């Protein structure tokens, strides 16, 4: 008889389940590992009493709270597949995700429960509610539940979670992540970033995304660390809690916002062990400004919903601004051309990845899955990059963002970096816009701090620096660039806005 196990729970959450140490802390509570595990067990019992069976999907859209993060662990422990949904999604979008995943239990804020029930009236779904203050029917149902729960048997290749990708083109796809995918990445990150029970992580990320949910939460649970668990990012809260933290994980906007406050200085962070950035490119300029201000170097890493974390700047070695570092242990990284042929160092191509961290494919999309993998098992990420002389990976953009103008390739990042260097420019986004003669034309959208800076100033500045075909044909000024909750610039939105400028 094979041994009974729940691979993710046993490896990540079980070792310290009886620990009296504080696990989650903020202004309102201090919750030990022991107490957290009791909440998890009560929720697991509640889910099973509602009919959850191994392999069933539990879809959740709720504000960040202890109950919500415990719900994740409880779903795993009860053998379910956790499906967290961005709090920004509308009920119509939720309808799609819940239908597509045929989730059997759905947990949402009570404000939208009725609306969603109407949309999903024909389905056999159990609805529960969970509000930002933890009120709702899920919490109410816990009163009568037992504090003990025996983990349901799940093996390493069983699914633990489905995370829908942001879906910049076409329908959003459900990335299937196995118990093994999550465990392997957590164990590697512990070694790479030297996490231990001495760590207290400042956690201000959302918990519906890989970064806040798996990278941050799984890792600290695994090492018996503590988490300062804040509902969302705010500069003032970050400054207040920084004193009690040893490390922080953030998206680049966290860092630019911190730098805009004078209280964020050398003294405030001198005890901090590690600042990690990811989910969107960190400008080299921010990296340098951060070091000048604090004396610390941000460690930038690269990951995706489908793959967990893939590369990281080193803990001890050189942390190079503008790069995402070296492949993590056990992750194979290659840069390939359109047909999967590996390219030499320095050549730009698409990042392809293989390793235990890489997902099992897209939920009920066998064709999409097939076209996303090479025959030898490498996953085609769609991120364009090159590997430099020291083997650091340098991302230059998404393949969908690549501009082909008059048959010539333009990598937006190269042009953006030059524009960003101009005095009076805060940041810029370079996009492709349809053009009658060239197919696509280069257009740049700029946020400026100096109102006198003109379109001609920017164009003239670039004349000597880059080939004519790379120079923007038009420059537009905006107050800010559209960004999603993970700090990624939404180029699709910009392309849509300017799509007709050369066609009329």
Interface positions with ligand AMP (CB under 6 A): 165-166, 210, 278-281, 300, 302-305, 324, 381, 383, 395, 398, 486
Length of the chain: 504
Q: For residue 171, what are its two tokens?
A: 């329908």
Distance separating alpha carbons of residues 456 and 446, to the nearest angstrom: 13
**Min dist. Cβ of residue 494 to ligand AMP (A):** 16
Distance separating alpha carbons of residues 468 and 377, to the nearest angstrom: 40
Which residue's CB is nearer to ligand AMP, number 66 or number 219? Answer: 219
| Other beta carbons less than 10 A from residue 394's beta carbon | 18
Which residue's CB is nearer to ligand AMP, number 100 or number 113? Answer: 100
Kindly list the distances between the CA atom of residue 475 and the CA atoms of 196, 221, 446, 457, in Å, as whole numbers in the listed order.
49, 48, 7, 10
Distance separating alpha carbons of residues 493 and 401, to the nearest angstrom: 12
Distance separating alpha carbons of residues 301 and 297, to the nearest angstrom: 13
CB 363 within 8 A of CB 337: no
Which residue's CB is nearer to ligand AMP, number 32 or number 172? Answer: 172
Distance separating alpha carbons of residues 127 and 118, to the nearest angstrom: 12
Which residue's CB is nearer to ligand AMP, number 45 or number 178? Answer: 178
Q: What is the 3-state secondary structure (H, E, C) of 339-394?
A: CCCECCCCCCEEEEEECCCCCCCECCCHHHHHHHECCCCCEEEEEEEEECCCCCEE
**Min dist. Cβ of residue 167 to ligand AMP (A):** 10
CB 489 within 8 A of CB 481: yes
Distance separating alpha carbons of residues 9 and 369, to the nearest angstrom: 27
Which residue's CB is nearer to ligand AMP, number 79 or number 252? Answer: 252
Which residue's CB is nearer to ligand AMP, number 303 or number 361? Answer: 303
User: Nearest-CB residue to ligand AMP?
Assistant: 305
Looking at the DSSP bridge assignments, the partners of residue 353 are: 333, 379
What are the φ/ψ torsions at residue 370 (nearest 5 degrees)? -60, -45
Which residue's CB is nearer to ligand AMP, number 222 or number 302? Answer: 302
Cα torsion 244, 247, 253, 259: sign: positive
Which residue's CB is nearer to ligand AMP, number 162 or number 486? Answer: 486
**Min dist. Cβ of residue 321 to ligand AMP (A):** 12
Which residue's CB is nearer to ligand AMP, number 237 or number 388? Answer: 388
Which residue's CB is nearer to ligand AMP, number 208 or number 222? Answer: 208
Distance separating alpha carbons of residues 410 and 430, to the nearest angstrom: 10
**Min dist. Cβ of residue 345 to ligand AMP (A):** 19
Q: Are strands 274-277 and 247-250 parallel, antiparallel or unpaired?
A: parallel
| Other beta carbons less than 10 A from residue 330's beta carbon | 13
Which residue's CB is nearer to ligand AMP, number 199 or number 300? Answer: 300
Q: Please name which of 446, 444, 433 lies closest in space to residue 404, comparing C-alpha atoms.
A: 433
**Min dist. Cβ of residue 485 to ligand AMP (A):** 10
Helical (H) or strand (E) element with 317: none
Place of tokens 């810029």: 428
Which residue's CB is nearer to ligand AMP, number 249 or number 453? Answer: 249
Which residue's CB is nearer to ligand AMP, number 45 or number 210? Answer: 210
Phi-psi region of 340 (alpha: psi -120 to 50; beta: other; left: phi over 0): left
Where does residue 300 rank: exposed (0-12), middle (13-18), buried (19+ CB within 10 A)? buried
Residue 355, C-beta contacts closer than 8 angstroms, at least 6 positions apart: 184, 310, 328, 330, 331, 332
Distance separating alpha carbons of residues 370 and 378, to the nearest angstrom: 11
């Amino acid at each position: 008889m094979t041994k009974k196990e729940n691979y993710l729970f046993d490896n990540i959450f079980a070792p310290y389940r009886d620990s009296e140490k504080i696990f989650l802390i903020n202004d309102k509570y201090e919750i030990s590992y022991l107490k957290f595990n009791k909440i998890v067990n009560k929720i697991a019992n509640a889910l099973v009493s509602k009919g959850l069976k191994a392999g069933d999907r539990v879809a959740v859209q709720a504000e960040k709270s202890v109950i919500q993060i415990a719900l994740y662990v409880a779903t795993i422990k009860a053998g379910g597949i956790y499906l967290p949904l961005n709090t920004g999604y509308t009920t119509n979008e939720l309808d799609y995700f819940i239908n597509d995943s045929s989730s059997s239990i759905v947990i949402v804020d009570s404000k939208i429960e009725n609306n969603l029930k109407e949309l999903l009236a024909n389905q056999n779904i159990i609805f529960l509610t969970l509000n930002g203050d933890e009120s709702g029917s899920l919490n109410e149902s816990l009163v009568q539940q037992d504090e003990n729960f025996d983990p349901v048997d799940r093996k390493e290749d069983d699914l633990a979670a489905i995370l829908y990708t942001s879906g910049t083109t076409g329908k959003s796809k459900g990335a299937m992540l196995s118990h093994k995918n999550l465990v392997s990445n957590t164990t590697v990150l512990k070694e790479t970033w030297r996490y231990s029970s001495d760590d207290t992580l400042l956690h201000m990320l959302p918990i519906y995304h890989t970064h806040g949910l798996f990278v941050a939460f799984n890792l600290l649970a695994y090492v018996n660390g503590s988490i300062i668990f804040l509902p969302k990012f705010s500069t003032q809260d970050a400054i207040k809690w920084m004193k009690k933290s040893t490390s922080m994980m953030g998206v680049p906007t966290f860092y630019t916002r911190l730098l805009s406050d004078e209280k964020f200085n050398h003294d405030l962070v001198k005890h901090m062990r590690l600042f990690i950035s990811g989910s969107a490119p960190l400008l080299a300029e921010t990296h340098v400004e951060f070091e000048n201000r604090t004396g610390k170097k941000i460690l930038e890493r690269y990951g995706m919903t489908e793959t967990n974390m893939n590369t990281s700047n080193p803990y001890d070695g050189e942390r190079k601004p503008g790069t995402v570092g070296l492949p993590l242990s056990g992750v194979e990284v290659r840069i390939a051309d359109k047909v999967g042929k590996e390219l030499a160092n320095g050549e730009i191509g698409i990042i392809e990845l293989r390793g235990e961290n890489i997902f099992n494919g897209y939920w009920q999309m066998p064709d999409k899955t097939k076209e996303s993998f090479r025959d030898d098992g490498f996953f085609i990420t769609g991120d364009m990059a090159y590997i430099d002389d020291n083997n650091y990976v340098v991302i230059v953009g998404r393949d969908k963002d690549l501009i082909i103008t008059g048959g010539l390739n333009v990598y937006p990042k190269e042009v953006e970096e030059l524009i960003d260097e101009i005095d009076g420019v805060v940041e810029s986004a370079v996009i492709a816009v349809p053009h009658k003669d060239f197919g696509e034309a280069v257009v740049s959208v700029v946020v400026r701090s100096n109102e006198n800076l003109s379109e001609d100033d920017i164009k003239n500045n670039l004349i000597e620096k880059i080939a004519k075909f790379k120079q923007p044909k038009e420059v537009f000024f905006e107050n800010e660039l559209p960004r999603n909750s993970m700090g990624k610039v939404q180029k699709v939105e910009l392309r849509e806005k300017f799509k007709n400028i050369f066609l009329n």
